[in-house]
Structures are given as structure tokens and as C-alpha cells.
Amino acid sequence: MATYTRPKPHFTLLFITFFIFFFQGKSSSWLDTEANEVVMVHSTRPDWPKRCDFSVGKWIYDQSYPLYDSNCPYLSTAVTCQRNGRPDSGYEKWKWKPNGCSLPRFDALKFLGKMRRKRIMLVGDSIMRNQWESLVCLVQGVIPTGHKKVTYNGPTMAFHALDFETSIEFSWAPLLVELKKGPDNKRVLHLDLIEENARYWRGVDVLVFDSAHWWTHSDQWSSWDYYMEGKSLYKTMNPMIAYQKGLTTWAKWVELNLDPRKTRAIFRTMSPRHNRQNGWKCYNQKTPLQFFSRPHVPEQVVVLKGVLRRMRFPVHLQDVTTMSAFRRDGHPSVYRRALNQAQRQHPREFSSDCSHWCLPGVPDIWNEMLSAML
């Protein structure tokens, strides 16, 4: 059993490092140049029409939003910021206006019509669960009581719109590849195994993937003790090399198991975190940022785009990273739990969540984009 503590630099790592340095060093014009990168990534389909780039634009205040309220019964307590006592609600009223085109307002009946007799599954971590709850709340209001239900199967849950024979599903797989218990109860992340998670994805008509945040957990926050690839066990590895290996395993599974004539595959880029200063960067923020003083492309996005470009299967990229980076006002912060009147007088006594999103809120716009892509 081989071990090592410091992988030797190789071409892939140098390539990633170069791109990270290149993008971080750009001026504010990055917001425009990044937009010119492929939004629908495909390596061998130049015949596909060029579509509007939804990823670059600006947030516009719109009094007609939100499209549902925080009393939606399918919301987790941690994202119902209004019910938990958040005093402002302006964060619910921003819509996204892409440059050069418009993003259609979410139409629940139209979406359900497109998904009639189909399954759509969102695969990923708790932020993908955040998006799943948003999507369910966007559609459930047009479905009569008794004509909808939620079912559970292992790491998956599904909202069923019975009259449409449609299911909107969520599959918990934050790393996509498998995380297992090994000898001495040690947690082992298998970079080349995926079937245990992927068996739940078979037969789905629309698959939306996300995997980013867990790959950068470190030290006491790490979800594993060792990496494993083949029969080799590693204590440490550059996290972006590990991420690339995991995504490559996912890509191989997609190529071998999915038929592009039957299944649409989408990969959503990472949701930005505003959690510097121990989570207080998003506290008491009430409006979107107007610009970035130092634009930044997360390493995970660079790696993801590289993997997708090498795929033969046409995976569509849903780029939400830049648009969401403006929205540090949209996180639960201390309102991830219900605070009584006395507790609201001392908010800094409570932990602040600057990773997930209040609902209604930013993930509703992701789902407007998703609906437009479909």
C-alpha cells in the first residue's frame, strides 16, 4: 500500500496554476472577458447554435418578485429567513438581467408542461438541496392539494406532480464519487469509484450536477482522512488535482452510461461563499454589490471547464458563480434559525451562514435560468 505526503508537480497542476494566476490578475474587464467563454460547453458539437450568455449581466430591483413566499411547506427551516426573523425583505426582489437578452420569468405551468412524464434530478450538496427546494416551491403553488407528494429513497427525495407524471428529485452526492469507511473507521474518498451514487441517476431525463465546496474542506472540516485511487492510498493531495480526478471519474460514467438522445445533462458551477471574517461578511447586507474590486474565478470553475471540454457527451454548463457573487445580501447569516425578540438584540452571539441562500431568493433565479436552458 503506497503513501505519500507531497505529490510531484506535473503538467496538469502547472496548467491549473497558470490559469488561476492569469484570471486573478485581471482587471475589472474580467467581467466582460469571462462572459466570452463557452456557456454551453461541448467539445465536438460545433453545429450547436450559439445562445444568449445568461451568466453575465446585472441585478435589477423588481417589485413583482418573489414568485412565492417563505410559507412554502417544502422549505427547510435554515433557509426561511423571513420566518426566522430577518427584518428586511428587499433581497427577495432582485431579478437577473443578462447583457443583450432577457431571462424569462419562471412559469410553473410551462415548466411542468416541458417536464410532463419526465424526471428531473438535482445531484450534489446542501446548496443543490437549496436549489431543489426553490424549484419545488416555484412549481407547487399551481398544483392542487392531494395532487402532489414527496417520497424518499436512500439518499434521494422526490417531489411528484401527479397530474403531470413529473418528478423533481434531489440526490445527495456532494463529492459525486464515493466516500466510504475504511480500516480503523477511517474515511476514504475513492477518486475512481462512483457507481454507489450513480445508480440513483439512471433513467432520469434531466440531470443537474454540482460538486465543488466539499473538495476544499480542510483540516478539521475535511470529510475524509485519506484519498484512494486504484490500490494506492494517499494522506494528502493537492485538492484541485483530487477534484479533477473525481470529475474525470464522473465524466467517464456519463460517457459510458448516458444517451444524449434521452438524457439532458447540466453542470452548475459553484455557488460563491461570502464567509470571510468567520461568516460575518454577509451579516446585515441589504443590497447586491455593484462591482468587484478584485474579480476572482474560483479554481473549481477552471478545473470543471477543463474536464467538460474534453468530454464527447454534450454537457451544458450553467454558470451561476459570477452572478451570485454580487449577492452577499442573499444569505441566511444569523437567520438560519428562528430568533426571538430578545435574541435579535444580540445577533453576534450566533453563528452566521454565508454559504447557503435565503428562500425565496437567489436560487429562484438559478431555476429561471435552468428553465430557460431546457
119, 134 in Cβ contact below 8 A? no
Q: 166 - beta bridge partners? A: 161
Dig out the grid coordinates for 239 from the structure.
485538492
Q: Which of 89, 107, 126, 225 is catalytic?
A: 126
361, 94 in Cβ contact below 8 A? no
Rg (alpha carbons) of the chain, rounded to whole number = 21
Dig out the grid coordinates for 111 from the structure.
415548466
Strand, helix or coil for residue 195: helix
Residue 205 annotated to the active site: no
CA 371 vs CA 25, 187, 294, 318: distances in Å? 34, 38, 31, 11
Dig out the grid coordinates for 158 from the structure.
422526490
Q: Which of 53, 329, 353, 364 is catalytic?
A: 353
The angle that helices 299-309 and 11-24 make with each other, rounded to 10 degrees, is 120
Residue 211 annotated to the active site: no
Dig out the grid coordinates for 232 from the structure.
494506492
Alpha helices (H) in 72-215, listed in sequence order: 108-114, 126-140, 195-198
Q: How far apart are CA 60 and CA 152, in angstroms?
A: 38
Alpha helices (H) in 217-361, listed in sequence order: 239-257, 276-279, 299-309, 321-325
Closest CA relative to residue 304, chosen from 28, 39, 26: 39
Closest CA relative to residue 288, chosen from 350, 365, 211, 213: 365
CB-hemisphere CA count at 13 Å for 187? 7
Dig out the grid coordinates for 215 from the structure.
473538495
Strand, helix or coil for residue 17: helix
Residue 353 annotated to the active site: yes
335, 78 in Cβ contact below 8 A? no
Q: How far apart are CA 255 and CA 260, in angstroms?
A: 9
- At 322, which amino acid appears? T
List active site positions: 126, 353, 356
